Structure 1
Amino acid sequence: MHARVTKVSADEDGLAQWRRIVRTEIAPNAAGKDGFVRALWLLDRDSGHGLSVTLWDSRESLENADAAASANRGKLASATGGTVEHWYYEVVAEA
């Protein structure tokens, strides 16, 4: 299994926009992607960060879904007025 971790850093208004976009657009569309396993979207208002962790059944599935994710990252940066970073990981264990 493979994971993409994305961090959005923004002010309070930007995080409100991030939350809205995640709930209305990104999360509903995630489940339809080939190889999608599950995802979590996390919000820490105190630090000004939103995180997403998406899990994929293979590196290939993650890479195939990354084109859409790249467009979403650009949209999120523009809509939130913040910054968006992302990283890729191999999942080595889960409980």
Structure 2
Amino acid sequence: MSQSRLILFRLRPDETEYLREQLGVGGFQQKFFAETSRLDLRTGEIALNDAELGKIVRYCSYGPGGFQSVLKKIFLRSIEDMLHGHREK
């Protein structure tokens, strides 16, 4: 089985802080973010594999909801930038 490539996201300070606040909230959020061991809260960098990114995109597309809103607030800007080819300079 081949390894999935990692995609690096650099979260803004406000997105990183919001993610940090979610780490102690709710069982599902705790499990979701705990599975992502490639998270550096100090720098705001998170490396996601294809499956993790796909899971985030699916949850964001489900419509309004508590956890969906959390993921959108943290990742939507970065995902849109990636899809539109924007790169942080």
Q: Is the pair's TM-score, using the shorter chain for normalization, greater than 0.5?
A: no
Pick the structure with more helix per residue.
2
Between 1 and 2, higher relative CO (CA 8 Å, sep ≥ 6) is seen in 1
The TM-score, its normalising length taken from structure 2, stands at 0.40
More strand by share: 1
